[in-house]
């Protein structure tokens, strides 16, 4: 009789659990390996630890960057991941927030662009579209703040921190007066690489990267490290100055004819690295090439161009489909100038295949920039040499990037002089500072335009539920992560717009009330329940199989 009663009670309990909705499945939280990025690895462990307190089964799985990029970024149909640690790095053109708030979250970029999480909100789309055509700074500021408020409500990702990235260099090798700190970027930037002046006979800048180079391709945004190289080999019409403003570079000047027409005058005497002259036809081609489907990563940056034509041998006219507040920064300072005589035949050939320009690798990349390609040993190093014929020829002879996955090994090589510029250090910043004491090593820490976050895959339940995402995000105390994972070298984040861009940052956006009990309350209000074992279940009637 007792066995029957116990069995009946068990059946009733099971029925009650089923009525509350299916138990939420186990999740994997992906990150890079501890050797590649110890800070990210530790942050992932802390995130998983906090989310287990909500009744979730979360396993942290660390995999090498190349594998992580393939699983999360490239394999979108169908995607095979739940959550991942991710970062957006501080690139100069991101000093205007358009690139991040539009490309990272607009629904049009979900299939092949930056919106790899597949966030979709028509209200948000409308706001970020409106800010693109608003040329009044104050009115545009209001729209960008509104966009941040929508993201705060929806929590498409769990933003964690804007790092205060610490870089270091040998001050006995490089003149400190010529090492440039760029706003929101730090000292690892284009201007430092071009302007740094040697103090000795050592004229090679030897740097490090913790991740391998995936591609050296002017039509493919393939990763942070790859972008340093791209910036150096290929010129752009404008560059972002150390102060964060778009200034003429390969363009001698520009002139707004009206709100949707801009004439750009090309600098004379420029040549490609193979000796061919840079022409206005090359410029027209460079901006037309990404307009099709051959370069999906760059396509959003040229989508507002209605027409582009050469007016004479020095002048190109851009006609926009509508006014664009960020055109100088997000387009003219973003698009790489590529040679028509090389990439024209390549794109013609690719148009007959299923591949696009992102899959193509030149044997010898040809640009017109201040550095020329010399050699690339995959997983080992990339060597560039100064283009002495360039209008802004570098002070150094060679730029040598060594791939060193282990953070502590990089630090040891800086001490020994095997490296003379620490351009990637993901270990404990306090150790870096301690190492520099009494040594000819200068350490500079700067709050980045970029940010670190946990990305949710919106293509599958329960991450398609804003309430669930908000609960997970608000379970995480940002100040705790600043101290525990980033050793104080970061500021709390709740937005893709860095506090380094003060004018564009929504007031109070980082003043988040967080905590496990708060998160549990959000889940309970949305109908999620805990069973007798403390495991979280979907709201009544929601099944894991269908997620509705």
Do 119 and 149 contact (CB within 8 A), yes or no? no
Check for a shared fold between 2-92+150-163+449-537 and 238-347: no
For domain 165-228+367-446, which CATH number applies: 3.90.1200.10, 3.40.190.10, 3.40.50.1950, 3.40.640.10? 3.40.190.10
**Quick check: helix, strand or coil at residue 253?**
strand
Do 60 and 45 contact (CB within 8 A), yes or no? yes
Beta bridge partners of 174: 198
Closest to 381 (Cα-Cα) out of 149, 223, 176, 207: 207
Closest to 209 (Cα-Cα) out of 223, 193, 225: 225
- Does this model's pTM top 0.85? no
Beta bridge partners of 159: 453
CA distance 7 to 366: 75
Domain 2-92+150-163+449-537 indexed as CATH 3.40.50: no
Give the homologous superfamily in CATH for domain 238-347: Dipeptide-binding Protein; Domain 1 (3.90.76.10)
> Mean pLDDT throughout 282-287?
98
Strands 381-386 and 371-377: antiparallel
Report pLDDT digits (tens) over 304-329: 999 999 999 999 999 999 999 899 99
By the 10 Å C-beta count (0-12 exposed, 13-18 middle, 19+ buried), 303 is classed as middle
Closest to 347 (Cα-Cα) out of 423, 290, 417: 290
Closest to 269 (Cα-Cα) out of 405, 389, 157, 431: 389
Q: Report the pLDDT value the prediction gives residue 545, as an integer from 0 to 100.
A: 61
What does the block give as tokens for 383? 């060597």
Report pLDDT digits (tens) over 138-158: 999 999 999 999 999 999 999
Q: Can you tell me which residue has the tokens 């905590």? A: 515
In angstroms, how far apart are the furthest CA atoms of the chain? 98
By the 10 Å C-beta count (0-12 exposed, 13-18 middle, 19+ buried), 18 is classed as middle
User: Could you give the percent of the chain with pLDDT greater than 90?
Assistant: 76
What does the block give as tokens for 56? 């979730």
Beta bridge partners of 166: 445
CA distance 193 to 384: 11
Sheet hosting strand 261-266, strand order edge to edge:
251-258, 261-266, 315-320, 305-310
Q: Could you tell me the residue ranges of all domains in the chain?
A: 2-92+150-163+449-537, 165-228+367-446, 238-347
**Quick check: helix, strand or coil at residue 149?**
helix
Q: How many residues would you count in the chain?
A: 548
Query: Which of 12-21, 129-138, 155-164, 197-206 shows the lowest per-residue confidence on average (mean pLDDT)?
Result: 12-21
Report pLDDT digits (tens) over 189-238: 999 999 999 999 999 999 999 889 999 999 998 888 899 999 999 999 99
What does the block give as tokens for 200? 């000795």
């Amino acid at each position: 009789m007792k066995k029957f009663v116990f069995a009946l009670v068990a059946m009733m309990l099971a029925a009650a659990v089923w009525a509350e909705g299916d138990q939420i499945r186990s999740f994997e939280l992906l990150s890079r390996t501890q050797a590649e990025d110890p800070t990210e690895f530790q942050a992932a462990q802390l995130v998983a630890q906090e989310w287990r307190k909500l009744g979730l089964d979360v396993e942290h799985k660390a995999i090498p960057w190349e594998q992580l990029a393939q699983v999360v970024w490239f394999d979108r149909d169908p995607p095979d991941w739940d959550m991942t640690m991710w970062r957006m790095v501080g690139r100069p053109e991101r000093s205007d927030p358009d690139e991040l708030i539009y490309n990272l979250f607009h629904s049009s970029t979900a299939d092949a662009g930056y919106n790899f999480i597949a966030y979709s909100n028509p209200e948000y789309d409308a706001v970020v579209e409106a800010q693109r055509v608003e040329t009044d700074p104050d009115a545009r500021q209001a729209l960008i703040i509104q966009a941040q408020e929508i993201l705060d409500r929806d929590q498409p990702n769990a933003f964690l921190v804007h790092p205060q990235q610490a870089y270091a260099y040998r001050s006995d090798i490089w003149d400190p007066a010529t090492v440039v700190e760029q706003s929101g970027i730090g000292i690892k930037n284009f201007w430092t690489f071009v302007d740094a002046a040697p103090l000795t006979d050592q004229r090679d800048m030897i740097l490090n990267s913790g991740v391998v180079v995936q591609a050296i391709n002017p039509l493919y945004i393939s990763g942070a490290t790859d972008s340093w190289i791209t910036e150096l080999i290929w010129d752009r019409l404008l560059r972002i100055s150390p102060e964060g403003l778009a200034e003429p570079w390969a363009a001698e000047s520009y002139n707004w004819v009206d709100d949707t027409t801009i004439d750009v005058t090309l600098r004379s005497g420029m040549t490609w690295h193979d000796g061919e002259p840079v022409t206005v036809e090359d410029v027209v081609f460079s901006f037309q090439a990404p307009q099709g489907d051959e370069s999906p990563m760059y396509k959003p940056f040229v989508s507002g161009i209605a027409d582009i034509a050469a007016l004479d041998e020095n002048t190109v006219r851009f006609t926009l489909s509508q006014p664009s507040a960020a055109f100088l920064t997000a387009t003219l300072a973003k698009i790489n100038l590529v040679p028509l005589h090389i990439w024209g035949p390549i794109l013609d050939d690719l148009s007959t295949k299923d591949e696009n320009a992102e899959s193509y690798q030149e044997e010898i990349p040809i640009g017109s920039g201040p550095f020329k390609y010399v050699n690339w040993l995959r997983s080992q190093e990339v060597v560039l040499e100064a283009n002495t014929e360039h209008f802004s020829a570098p002070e150094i002879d060679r730029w040598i990037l060594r791939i060193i996955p282990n953070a502590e090994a990089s630090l040891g090589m800086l001490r020994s002089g095997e490296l003379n510029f620490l351009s990637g250090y993901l270990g404990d910043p306090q150790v870096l500072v301690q190492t520099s004491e009494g040594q000819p090593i200068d350490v500079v820490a700067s709050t980045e335009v970029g940010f670190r976050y946990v990305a949710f895959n919106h293509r599958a339940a329960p991450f398609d539920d804003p309430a669930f995402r908000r609960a997970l995000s608000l379970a995480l105390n940002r100040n705790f992560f600043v101290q525990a994972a980033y050793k104080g070298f970061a500021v709390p984040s709740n937005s893709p717009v860095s506090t380094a861009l003060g004018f564009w940052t929504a007031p109070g956006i980082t003043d988040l009330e967080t905590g496990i009990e708060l998160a549990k309350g959000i889940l309970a209000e949305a109908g999620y329940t805990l069973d007798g074992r403390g495991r979280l279940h979907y709201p009544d009637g929601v099944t894991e199989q269908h997620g509705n």
